[in-house]
Amino acid sequence: MDKILTGEDVLLWLDKERTYLVKAEIGKQFHTHKGFLLFDDIIGKPWGSSFRTNLGAIFYALPPLIRDRVLKTDRRTQVLYPKDISYILYQLGISNGSKVVEAGTGSGALTISLANIVKPDGKIFTYEIDERSQKISKINIERASLSSYVEMKLRDICLGIDEKNIDGVILDLATPWLVVPHVWQVLKGGGVFISFSPTIEQVMKTVYEIEKYPFIDIETVELILRKITVAENRTRPETLMIGHSGYLTITRKIIS
């Protein structure tokens, strides 16, 4: 829809450092140190409209993208950075109809990104061992209106994977090497396996285990994102940057 409807999520943008994901509800207000907005004034207006608070600050109402939902998830657990999520999606090569196994779910940031790609005919099967984390991720996934494309499992994927004939598997676990035998069993021929690990010791154990099975094209990468400040006569890299977040190990199954 071109206009903001009652009950819809809205991204209120003040500046690049301050954005707020809120639900537009009749009769309610949005309060910040910059003043308050009335949702009655926002509902029914076109997306992209500007609104002035009672203190004169200007907010813009934007439709939330998946990237906004990922960044605004309830972060009781560490989430993957967008730089890593985007590369994972690129390497998996998934699309509408794909079936993907993920573990662990955490806050659901990657789950949301995966589900948005495989809908409406695909499915994400996500494993998590911590019940509290699963409850949080369930709320985040529901808010993104993607629950229909996600099956959540409270169990240890190291003990086995229920699904078969899977297009891709992505792990964000402390001991991914223990899952490699199960991954090979459930992946389609040519299917992609990706493991995210923060330490090089985890990577080494995982790669050594991968090499025991018919996988090819094994690659480990680290992604570094550096923003640039653009201004007349002082364009330069920003002082702070997202450096190391983790290593991604990628490989594909073959039928020997």
Query: pLDDT tens for residues 144-179?
Result: 999 999 999 999 999 999 999 999 999 999 999 999
- Domain carrying residue 48: 9-64
| Residue 228 burial (CB count, 10 A) | 8
Do 132 and 84 belong to one domain?
yes
d(C-alpha 133, C-alpha 75), whole Å? 10
Do 52 and 98 belong to one domain?
no
Say yes or no to pLDDT of 241 above 80.
no
Structural contact between residues 36 and 53, judged by C-beta atoms closer than 8 angstroms: yes
Q: How confident is the model at residue 81, as a pLDDT?
A: 85
Q: What is the distance between the terminal CA atoms of the chain, rounded to a whole angstrom?
A: 50
Question: CATH code at 26?
Answer: 3.10.330.20
Say yes or no to pLDDT of 228 above 90.
yes
At 78, the pLDDT band (50, 70, 90 cuts) reads low
* Residue-wise pLDDT tens digits, 81-112: 889 999 999 999 999 999 999 999 999 999 99
Do 138 and 175 belong to one domain?
yes
Say yes or no to pLDDT of 76 above 90.
no
Q: How confident is the model at residue 12, as a pLDDT?
A: 96
Q: Residue 2 domain-assigned?
A: no
* Residue-wise pLDDT tens digits, 36-54: 999 999 999 999 999 999 9
Structural contact between residues 195 and 176, judged by C-beta atoms closer than 8 angstroms: yes
Do 189 and 225 belong to one domain?
yes
Q: How confident is the model at residue 77, as a pLDDT?
A: 60
d(C-alpha 185, C-alpha 189), whole Å? 10
Q: How confident is the model at residue 243, as a pLDDT?
A: 76
Cα pseudo-dihedral 157, 100, 77, 227, rounded to 10: 140
Greater pLDDT, 249 or 67: 249
At 249, the pLDDT band (50, 70, 90 cuts) reads very high
Q: What is the mean pLDDT of the chain?
A: 94
Name which of 137-146, 153-162, 206-215, 235-244 the model is least confident about.
Answer: 235-244
Residue count of the chain: 256
Domain count, the chain: 2
The residue from 64, 82, 109 where one domain ends is 64
Q: Residues 178-190: what's their mean pLDDT?
A: 97
Do 43 and 128 belong to one domain?
no
Q: Residues 179-202: what's their mean pLDDT?
A: 97
Do 142 and 118 belong to one domain?
yes
d(C-alpha 128, C-alpha 112), whole Å? 15
Question: CATH code at 129?
Answer: 3.40.50.150
Q: Residues 51-78: what's their mean pLDDT?
A: 86
Say yes or no to pLDDT of 75 above 90.
no
